[in-house]
Structure 1
Amino acid sequence: MIETIAHPTAPSAPEGARPAGAPPFLRPGAQIDWHYRRPGWTAGDASTIAPMRVVRDDPRGLVAWLAPGTVQEAQGAPDGRRIRTVPLERRWTERRIRIREEWWGNGILRIAPTGTPWSVWLFWSGEPWTFSGWYVNLENAHLRAGEATYSSDHVLDVWIDAAGHAQLKDEDELEEALVQGRIAPEEAAHIRRHAEAAIASFAAGDWPFDPAWRDWRPDPSWTTPTLADLPD
């Protein structure tokens, strides 16, 4: 059984949000907005919002496509820079503002298994597509409301290359998040166990890592979703 992370790392979601995996579900091709919010988020705070196309949405989980060139909301420093450009020793104490930015990479497929504290992102490069690997984003199990899904990021991640070699990513960020009070020691211990569980899930060949996803391609008729104008 996968251990879950309790409050205060639970994602901030609209009142009445339901656990992912419960109906109603969105049809393939519909737009879904994928939110990451910090614990304790309130209206107007910075967050990450990616407008995406639904590939499948059912009790097993959510699969969605982030198209190249998608404009998304991101978290920035007060001077407008991307938050990841802020020196690590200040990254979790720096005030964050809402910025808009274009998804600069190739498209990615995101798979959020129901009730699981991570999502699996498939990356490709080049043309024709060459599979690069799986990025496992450790996060809260998703909550759903309307045409949106909500989670909170857990800083530490796992990268599994196309040959199946796994390694932890951003361990230095997790350590700084501890120092700066973004994450408590017991939460960090949970997160590390989730990383181990994600690697075990890959080794077991669970459905987010099914080889068939490597050959998936988006519907050519899909347009790039549009980021909604949000209230301040």
Structure 2
Amino acid sequence: MAGVVSGQTVDPRPTATTAPDGARDLGIAPFLSPGGQIDWHYRKPGWQTGDASNIAPMRVVRDDERGLVAWLAAGSLLEGMGAPDGQRIRTVALDQRWLVERTRIVEEWWGNGVLRIAPTGTPWSVWLFWSDATGTDWVFDGWYVNLENAHQRTGSATHSSDHVLDVEIDASGEVRLKDEDELEAAIEQGRISADEAEQITRHADAAIGAFHGGHWAFAQEWVDWRPDPAWTIPQLSDLPR
């Protein structure tokens, strides 16, 4: 069902859903408690059992009717989509990136921790980055809006499908689109249709409008938020596919 965000009508899932049967929409109980583990999945449209996916084990910060907030700690092991030679998929030339077979790889999150916020019924999540996360005075680097299907939940997992195009907003509020060339290549290589890409571009405009409109995912409280120092790094589960 389409929704309205910042005055614009948006389809929360413009590409095929990828969650397991019986999944429920984000924002519907039961909810996980703060500090619990949640596995954040990205699967390609039309994902089948055995296909590669992206999985990040994370700590729940908040899980309720408004959406999910979770913390990806530095040093976390993630499951990713690799090229046939086992390297990261982004090493593949752009004109072949959505044509090559994807393999399952495991890699360590190399940067500082990232706070991810997935609002209920919204075709994007908001990621907060810090360029320096040492001591008490962290240096906020900005927001990354990952355009994606609205999340669906199963147990201690959340599921979505990435939409290639993204929005970057630096700490001063300057906004720019990211990976427009990749979106064009994804259309040419059959990863998404032209109609889906048109919807995704509208979602980018709506997300930018949400930022300027003061949506709760961009609130100062999240810039000021810090993880519980007692939290350990969640473990990547060897889940059946």
TM band (smaller chain): over 0.9
Q: Structure 2: which 5+ residue stretches go unaligned?
A: none
Q: 2:11 aligns with which of 4, 22, 25?
A: 4
- Structure 2 residue aligned with 1:41: 47
Q: Decide which of 73, 80, 83 is 2:79's aligned counterpart.
A: 73
* Structure 2 counterpart of 1:152: 161
* Structure 1 unaligned blocks of 5 or more: none
* Inter-partner Cα distance in structure 2 for 1:167 and 1:41: 30
Superposition deviation, residue 230 in structure 1:
2.3
TM-score, length basis structure 2: 0.94
CA distance in 2, matches of 1:183, 1:145: 25
Q: Distance in 2 between matches of 1:119 and 1:184?
A: 22
TM-score normalised to structure 1 length = 0.97
Structure 1 residue 6: Cα displacement: 5.2
Q: How does 1:1-232 map to 2 (within 5 A)?
A: 1=4, 2-4=9-11, 9-126=15-132, 127=134, 128-231=137-240
Structure 2: distance between partners of 1:211 and 1:107: 17
The 8 Å contact of residues 24 and 153 in structure 2, kept in 1 or not, is answered as yes
One-letter amino acid of the structure 2 residue matched with residue 36 of structure 1? Y
SS at match of 1:122: strand
Cα distance, 1:231 vs structure 2: 2.7
Q: Report Cα offsets for 1:172-201 as digits up to 9, x if no partner.
A: 000000111111111010000000000000
- Report the residue type matching 1:86 in the other structure: V
How many corresponding residue pairs? 231
8 Å contact 1:5–1:187 — kept in the other structure? no
